[in-house]
Chains A and B, each alone.
Chain A
Amino acid sequence: MNAIEIRGLTKTYSNGVEALKGIDLTVQQGDFYALLGPNGAGKSTTIGILSSLVTKSSGSVSVFGHSIDNALEQAKSCIGLVPQEFNFNQFETLLQIVVNQAGYYGVPRKEALQRAEKYLTQLELWEKRNHRARELSGGMKRRLMIARALMHEPQMLILDEPTAGVDIEIRRGMWDFLREINQQGKTIILTTHYLEEAELLCRNIGIINKGQIVANTSMKDLLATLNVETFVLDLSAAADSITLSGFDWRQVDGSSIEVDVAKEKGMNPVFAQLDEQGIQVLSMRNKANRLEELFVAMMDSAGEKTA
């Protein structure tokens, strides 16, 4: 069974903005799926429709086989939503927030209190359980929303920019946690602006732009389409004295250069030419994350087509 099946989904807001122009999307059960796209592409609208916060204009959506048209309550029960914006009552305590949320899904209070301890502990918030939500840091608020989304133990977690504004240490902790619950069988859909995050965590990926799906494939297959990568090389000599034939390259600073390397050429010819000139490569790194390069290229290409 698929976790999500979307067919011909459209959404036109009352102000006339056409946010979705008939998208088709399938996410398999147990997947860790990235939904990427620039701001205003339609990611949040898609998530809004899945979680019933936004009303669709046309098309069909089913969640674990439950159509949102005729089995909305069952579909809702399968989803735990972690929205982009903080959407809890800032004056309530953490315990009140998560226990109430469980109650809305019919979880008895006694059980809800046990689950609250489990998830708040896992997300390192149990010590803060009697604090008001407004007293938390940004990272803690994000983790609170994850704990809240898990309280009814849904089959699928949808996270809309879950690590925005979170420091790297906490972000890595959240990645580990998400990997772990995905390995336990929970389907995860993630939108993020940190493409490194999507590349590290997700197996499959959908890219949405201007209300249309422009790619829906596995992360591995998508990255395989990347033909050219840009590397930054730190050299042992002044960069303005070198020559490199057969490659596009630029000087970055006194002793660093950027080189565009096609996949079929590889790096060896670069090293060989530098070696011939008696120049050592002290260190080397990707200029950008691979997915980021692809993403930018795809968005540029889409922009040219519509220009």
Chain B
Amino acid sequence: MSAAVNYIALKSIVRKECTRFMRIWVQTLVPPAITTTLYFVIFGGLIGSRVGQMGGFSYMDYIVPGLIMMSVITSSYSNVASSFFSAKFQRNIEELLVAPVPNYIIIMGYVAGGVCRGLLVGSIVTLVAMVFTDLQFHHVGVLVLVILLTAILFALGGMFNALFAKTFDDVSIIPTFVLTPLTYLGGVFYSIAMLPEFWQWVSKLNPVVYMVNTFRYGFLGVSDIPVLPSVIMLLVMTVVLFLVILNMLKRGVGIRS
């Protein structure tokens, strides 16, 4: 099929995905705003004022990048996981499978939907953060690159999950038992430099540590991890996961009999 036909197909998937999460905005956009407001009030304001400085910044300023990142990760992942699995469950994924849409366009469409929701939620959380503190932007280029790559990576993760999922439980298992621990232990609320050496080493096996720290560098100019290797790692993981999902779709894993 021609590039123009593929472009129209891609736009159709993205429009459908964005319409979906906007239609249910009370479920998709409001909860992250409320949760992060509570984080800012409790951890940033009440507890943070007793914690003092971290990495040379107030605790509130220190946790803002991680909280934005956390909401982007959760939203991108859950958007694609729930939307793609619902499409499998209601069988409307067949609308796409019978059409001459290349598999890479299907992936790009769903991932773009997840990224849109992730970035919209990230923007809402950033606006909420601005109520509580004066944000500074150390390196906007790094900020944009890292948040975009992270949103893409976790949207791909959501699709990977949805392809394997057979029940709605399967869609919630990964966020509950993998994603949440990785995010909470990913240096959102503390610097990994505070940990004993062994746990610092263990933390460096957690990819979220790299994302949170690189994102924090974009805001504050400080990071527990060097920026360039983190960006390269993110890029490599994104490409590998994209290729894995492309191969799964080609083989019909989870979608064709």
Residues of A within 8 A of B (CB): 13-14, 48, 51-55, 72-74, 76-77, 79, 81, 83, 85-92, 96-97, 99-109, 148, 152
Q: In this assembly, does B23 line the interface, its C-beta being within 8 Å of a C-beta of chain A? A: yes
In the complex, whether B26 has a CB less than 8 A from a CB of chain A is: no
Chain A: minimal CB distance from B108 (Å): 13
- Report how far A112 CA is from B100 CA in the complex, Å: 16
Closest to B100 in A: A73
Mark interface residues in B1-24 (1 if CB within 8 Å of A CB, else 0). 110111011011101100100010
- Given the known interface contacts A13-B257, A100-B16, A103-B12, the answer about A51 and B98 at a Cβ–Cβ threshold of 8 Å is yes
What are 25 sample pairs from A and B whose C-beta atoms fall under 8 A apart? A13-B257, A48-B257, A51-B98, A52-B97, A52-B256, A54-B257, A55-B257, A76-B98, A77-B100, A81-B94, A81-B98, A83-B94, A85-B91, A87-B94, A88-B95, A89-B86, A90-B90, A91-B23, A92-B19, A100-B12, A104-B13, A104-B96, A104-B101, A106-B5, A106-B9
| Contact between chains at B95 and A87 (CB < 8 Å) | yes
Q: Is the CB of B95 within 8 A of A107?
A: no
A79 to B98, Cβ gap below 8 A? yes
| Chain A residue contacts of B5, Cβ below 8 A | 105-106
* Distance in angstroms between the alpha carbons of A99 and B13 in the assembled complex: 11
B101 proximity list for chain A (CB < 8 A): 104
Of chain B, the residue at the smallest CB distance from A103 is B12
> Shortest Cβ distance from B138 into chain A, in angstroms?
41
Q: Are A73 and B90 neighbours in the complex by a CB distance under 8 Å?
A: no
Taking a contact as CB atoms closer than 8 A, the residue among A73, A76, A96, A102 that contacts B16 in the complex is A96
Question: B252–A89 contact, CB under 8 A?
Answer: no
Tell me how many residue pairs across A and B have CB atoms closer than 8 Å.
Answer: 92
User: Is B228 at the interface (CB under 8 A from chain A)?
Assistant: no
Partner of B12, one of A14, A52, A73, A104: A104
Which residues of chain B from 72 to 119 have any CB-CB distance to chain A below 8 Å in the complex? Answer: 86-87, 90-92, 94-102
Answer whether A87 and B4 are a contact pair too, CB < 8 Å, given A76-B100, A104-B95, A104-B99: no
With CB as the reference atom, state the residue of chain B lying closest to A89.
Answer: B92
CA distance A29 to B51 in the complex (A): 77
Kindly state the separation between the CA atoms of A109 and B5 in the bound complex, as whole angstroms.
12
Q: How large, as a class, is the contact surface on chain B? A: 20 to 34
Residues of A near B13 (CB, < 8 A) are 103-104
Residues of A within 8 A of B2 (CB): 106
CA A81 to CA B92, docked complex, whole Å: 13
Q: Is the CB of A103 within 8 A of B252?
A: no
**Given that A83-B94, A104-B9 are known contacts, is A74 also in contact with B256, CB under 8 Å in the complex?**
no
Please name all residues of chain A whose beta carbon is closer than 8 Å to the beta carbon of B99 when the two chains form the complex.
Answer: 76, 101, 104-105, 152
User: Please, how many angstroms separate the alpha-carbon atoms of A293 and B13 in the complex?
Assistant: 48
For residue B9, which residues in chain A have a CB less than 8 angstroms away from its CB? Answer: 103-106
Q: Which residue on A lies nearest to B255, using beta carbons?
A: A53
- Of A52, A89, A104, the contact of B90 (CB 8 Å cutoff): A89
Chain B neighbourhood of A81, CB < 8 A: 94, 98
| CB neighbours of A103 from chain B (8 A) | 8-9, 11-13, 15
Q: How far is the CB of B103 from chain A (nearest CB, A)?
A: 11
The answer to whether A106 touches B98 (Cβ under 8 A) is: no
Q: How far is the CB of B26 from chain A (nearest CB, A)?
A: 14
The smallest C-beta distance from B33 to any residue of chain A, in angstroms, reads: 23
Question: Cβ of B6: which chain A residues have Cβ within 8 Å of it?
Answer: 106
The answer to whether A96 and B94 have CB atoms under 8 Å apart is no
Chain B proximity of A299: nearest CB distance (Å) = 25
Q: Determine the chain A residues whose CB is within 8 A of the CB of B8 once the complex forms.
A: 103, 106-109
Residue of B nearest to A13 (CB): B257
User: What are the residues of chain B within 8 A of A104 when measuring CB–CB?
Assistant: 9, 12-13, 95-96, 99-101
A288-B13 Cα distance, complex, nearest whole Å:
48
Residue of A nearest to B109 (CB): A104
Which one of B11, B19, B98 lies within 8 Å of A53 (CB-CB)? B98
Q: Are B257 and A106 in contact (CB under 8 A)?
A: no
* CB-based contact A100/B15 at 8 Å: yes
Chain B residue contacts of A92, Cβ below 8 A: 16, 19
